[in-house]
Amino acid sequence: MKQTNYLETLIQGNQFRFERLVIENIDNTPVLNINEPRMADEEICLFYRDVHTGNDYIKILHQMIARGLSERKEAPVVRFADGEYAFYNYDLNCNGLYRQAESVDAIRKVMPSHIEALKILAACGKMAPLIFPGNITRKARGLFNLLSRSKDESSASTFMKFLFGNGIEMTADNYIPFYVVYAYLTSEDFIRIVDDKKVCILNSEFNRDSCTNWFTRFSSRPGISFVEIPAEYVATRWESMRENILRQIPQDTDLCLVGAGIGSLPVCIDVARRFSIPTVDAGHVLNMMNARVDKSNGARLYTIRKTDA
C-alpha cells in the first residue's frame, strides 16, 4: 500500500465511505447562514462501513466516556483539522487563531513525542480528524505558489500519509468524525453523565459562573476545577510544562476537558494515562462554556441545537 494513497485505499477498499453527518436535534443553519456556502461541504464526512448514522457515532463516543468514568479507564479523545494537518506536515501555517509552533525546527524537535502520543491515542482512544471531500487535497493558488511549493500542501491526505508512514492505522475502533465531538459535548447526554462528577478544565481561560450555568441548564452539577495552561506553544513546549500542570489536577478528577490547540494531543494522552480517566479535546466548546465564542471567530458546525436556534 503506498503511503500517498492511504486515504484513497481506505475508501476504495470499502472500509470507509463519505456520507452526510446528520445528528438528531442539531441545526447547522445559523452557522451556514453567516459563512461561505462551501462550509456545507464539511457536513459530508467519513463513515466507517458498519456505522450507519451520525447518531450511532454519538452513541459510540458516549459509551466510551461512560466506560472510562465507571471503570476509571484512560479514554483520550482528540480532534485534528487544518492546524494539525499543517503541524504534522512541518508547515508553519499551523499558526492560525493561536500561535502553535515557533519554527519548523521546533516542530521537528517535538515530533517524536507527538508520534508516540498518536500511537497511544490510536490504541486506546478516539482520533477525530476533519475529513471531507473538500480537504482531501489542497490546490496551489497562483503561479508563485505553484512554482515555489516544494512539498504537498497540508490536507487530510497529507495527515493520513503521515499516520500510515508512522505505522498508525485508522480503524473502526479508533476513529470518529471531527464534528461528532462537538455534537456530543453540547448534548444533554454528556452534560448529564458528568452530573456529580469531578470535571477539570485545562484551558487558558475560565469563567466559573458561565461554565456552571452551562451544566445547570440540564440540572447537572459537576464539581468543576480549573488548571490554567498557556494560550500559546503548548504543542512544542508541553514537555517543559507537563509536571507542573499535572500536579495541579485534583487527584479525584473523573474527566478532563482540554483546550490546548495542537498541544491537546500530548496533554490529553498524559492526563488520561496519569489519572486513568476520559480526557476530551474540547476546543471551541470550552469557548462556548466560557461565553467566549468570539475567540473562535463565531459559532461552529454541530454545536447548535434546534431548541437553541
34-77 pLDDT, tens digit per residue, is: 988 889 999 999 999 999 999 999 999 999 999 999 999 999 99
- What are the C-alpha distances in Å from 192 to residues 22, 184, 185, 208, 289? 22, 11, 11, 18, 15
- Which residue type does 145 have? N
The pLDDT of residue 290 is 95
Confidence category of residue 201, pLDDT binned at 50, 70, 90: very high
The pLDDT of residue 139 is 52
Confidence category of residue 294, pLDDT binned at 50, 70, 90: confident
The pLDDT of residue 36 is 82
CA distance 229 to 235: 12
Q: For residue 287, what are the contacts with CB-CB under 8 A and spacing of at least 6? A: 259, 293, 294, 295, 296
The pLDDT of residue 38 is 87
CA distance 219 to 194: 11
Residue whose cell numbers read 447526554: 189
Record the cell numbers describing residue 184, joined without a space: 456530543
Record the cell numbers describing residue 236, joined without a space: 512544542
Backbone angles phi, psi at 52, to 5 degrees: -95, -35
Q: What is the pTM of this model?
A: 0.93
Does residue 140 have a pLDDT over 70? Answer: no
The pLDDT of residue 3 is 43
CA distance 119 to 133: 26
According to DSSP, the residues that pair with 18 across neighbouring strands are: 46
